[in-house]
Structure 1
């Protein structure tokens, strides 16, 4: 059972909402150093809570939060709500304006074996630790993670559309995306949305590190609290929910950039790849994306001044020894991480999560720049991933390598914050939104 609850959210005071464009910020794992420095110049920007800096960044975020609350920069909504969030965007090569529709609510924190929330990516331990420390210090969910539910009827979207007739905020974010924000406080509507999601599994699309931070914190608090009831704030996590059946759900590719490989040369790399891949030179490097488009087990390779299409020899697939179902072995990302990073670079699968010399880049042009300038040794260009592939992985119980998916656009931080401090988490309205502790659907 996926239990969601409305949030008595903390939001910027009305006197500041005309500046909302200058108060929002990108997620901690996508903001660039240049963006950070610009955002830090505004003392009220939400980045001071989501990506704090200093020798003790989590403590700095706590002090900032306390100051903002005491001075009225942030105020808490008195009535719990679902916060509706639409993102209007376009994609290169398309004239269409897309709209991803969703809403922000609290989700009860579930451990992975419960199979209510399904993950599809591995996490990096040091990033999880940072998120856990921040949550511990601030008692605040600063940025919603992104969860997916499946509802072919699209009933929830009807309630969201109605709410969007009266938006609270409208903003253009760092991605060039138009973000529109509204609120649902109607108890009957909220209860109906809760009922629709009640027996569904949720796929964690984005925010694995933040969610795992909440999970670790909940476990620690449960162990330390002999009076634990399950209704404490630490049992809940702020999430942005969207429908897998929506036409405007988009996942962009994430490329791999490699540096500091020992005894590296282009000649050596091509010789190693030749044992597993068919290698075809690409005369014009920017064409690599199109050359590999839609082709199974095909990747672009940028190395030195050259570009290549590499495609796994089908007979090599059976060499994969990782303990995965056949359907997972046949995925492009499995092929890439097994043959290129384990077999050729010598980084065993379990250690790849901590491999600091493999970085993730969504921008193809930036991949080319890093390789051409010698800042990286080579880049592996990947195809995008379908939502059906993500579902297949989640339902299998296995995970893809970290940063395998890039759901676009990214959710931004700063529209609403969710406190898990008990005195702020609890409201007089809570009994009307609690769901029974039932774990199986009625027959």
Structure 2
């Protein structure tokens, strides 16, 4: 099943005057324009490798990477290791401190048909193309994607708990999350990690675009090398792996914003009545609460007016997309089928890259953006459960794009993983 390897990570030189907290950055797909501009002011921040700017951004990132290596701004660790990564966080309205436990390693970039690594949602094509170009130019995995394995015995946790007691880094990130990184070099313990994952399938939780970039590059290189063995560096991808059995895994909802409607508001509301029960609500800031725990229920905020929408149960059977029942049961499938396709005429394939559609995790930001005229309407949805993610992955199907928001996000800048031949082989050889 899943083949993983330790890595000799590239990390910032400990002797730099800048602290590691100042060098980290949010992932490319969550960093805001304001955050990005602030981070660009530091010439050593990891944003310059993860979200390079300019007309020839990827090529410039590759040149900068080489410069950082030559000047000793980043150094490669001498020994291959498994990097333990814990994230401590709290959620609004909850006094508990959660901790998401996991580790960072290299993993084979399995093609979807191999059914070792399972995806759960669609990607946005333009974002994939951006990641492919950056990987091809830099030969560097700048940040780990997030994968889930299932181990009800918790075999690896004692070793991770022991390692995290002597961290390499401990910082607080832009999310208010405490991030702690440690490393395991013990050869026998590393072998246990490899053996434990060897019979597992991996569910791709976050980072579909970056993973598809690695997958595209692997396919391309395989086609160019008739002597392909499967052990070459281009076969591997950087991933943060967590145990799906942990209670501290959290998936937050991702709401939808539409810039405009192709019809008058009154007509849109009238057409909604064909499929939904519509209840006006006084306070838009309660929309997320009135739908909690209710199947196929959504909040709608349109032109200063709030509504609770709930699908009429008898119309659910009308969904004619060629999906298994596990996907048809999802709230977001109902939303994308009945609201976007049947009512607004935005068909499924168009929805993946529809310019007028944006995504927002923060509920209050949705209301604020509609009030400020930055969006015409907001559609508020419930979170998806871990069990739903597992069922969809195992069905072989995918959810609509931006279905899940695994919280917290990992950060960029703690470590980088090279797939250059002379920078990768030591890690591979140590395990084979």
How high is the TM-score relative to the length of structure 1? 0.96
- In the alignment, the residues of structure 2 paired with residue 430 and residue 132 of structure 1 have an alpha-carbon distance, to the nearest angstrom, of 23
The structural deviation recorded for 1:349 is: 1.1
Which portions of structure 1, spanning 4 or more consecutive aligned residues, are displaced by more than 6 angstroms? none
User: Is this contact kept in 1: 2:327–2:398, CA < 8 A?
Assistant: no
Contact 1:300-1:381 at 8 Å conserved across structures: yes
Equivalences, count? 432
Aligned residue for 1:430? 428
C-alpha distance after superposition, 1:259-298 (max 9, x if no partner): 13323x3212211110000000111110111100000000
Q: Which residue of 1 aligns with 2:362?
A: 363
Q: Look up the match of 1:276.
A: 275
Q: Which residues of structure 2 form unaligned runs of 5+?
A: none
- Equivalences for 1:328-343 in 2 at 5 Å? 328-343=327-342
1:198 aligned residue: 198
Q: Tell me the CA shift for residue 17 of structure 1.
A: 7.8
| CA displacement at 1:378 relative to structure 2 | 0.6
Counterpart residue number, 1:16: 16
- Displacement of 1:229 in angstroms is 1.9
CA contact (8 A) 2:80 2:430 kept: no
Q: How does 1:43-442 map to 2 (within 5 A)?
A: 43-263=43-263, 265-427=264-426, 430-434=428-432
Deviations 1:20-73 (A, max 9, x none): 110000000000000000100000000000000001110111011011000000
Structure 2 CA distance, aligned partners of 1:275 and 1:290?
24
Contact persistence 1:27–1:50 (CA under 8 A): yes
How far did 1:18 drift? 6.2
SS in 1 for 2:37: helix
Matched-pair contact (CA < 8 Å) for 1:251–1:385: yes
**Residue 439 of structure 1 aligns with which residue?**
none
In structure 2, what is the equivalent of residue 30 of structure 1?
30
1: CA distance, partners of 2:340 / 2:17: 47
Aligned-pair CA distance for 1:192 = 0.5
What is the Cα deviation at residue 404 of structure 1? 0.5
Compute the displacement of 1:231 (Å): 1.4
- Alignment deviations for residues 154-211 of structure 1 (CA, whole Å, 9 cap, x no partner): 1111110010111111000000000001000111001011111101100000000000
CA distance in 1, matches of 2:193, 2:326: 34
Deviations 1:343-377 (A, max 9, x none): 01101112211111111100111111111122211
In 2: Cα distance, 1:231 partner to 1:195 partner: 17
TM-score, normalised with respect to structure 2: 0.99
Whether the 8 Å CA contact 1:257–1:376 is kept in 2: the answer is: yes
Q: Secondary structure at the match of 1:53?
A: coil
CA RMSD in angstroms, aligned pairs only: 1.0
Q: Secondary structure at the match of 1:317?
A: helix
SS where residue 15 of structure 1 aligns?
Answer: coil
Query: How far apart are residue 397 of structure 1 and its match?
Result: 0.4
Answer whether contact 1:17 1:169 (CA < 8 A) is retained. Answer: no
CA contact (8 A) 2:6 2:80 kept: yes
Distance 1:151 1:377, change over 3 A: same
Alpha-carbon separation, structure 2, partners of 1:326 and 1:162:
43
**Any idea what SS the aligned residue of 1:16 has?**
coil
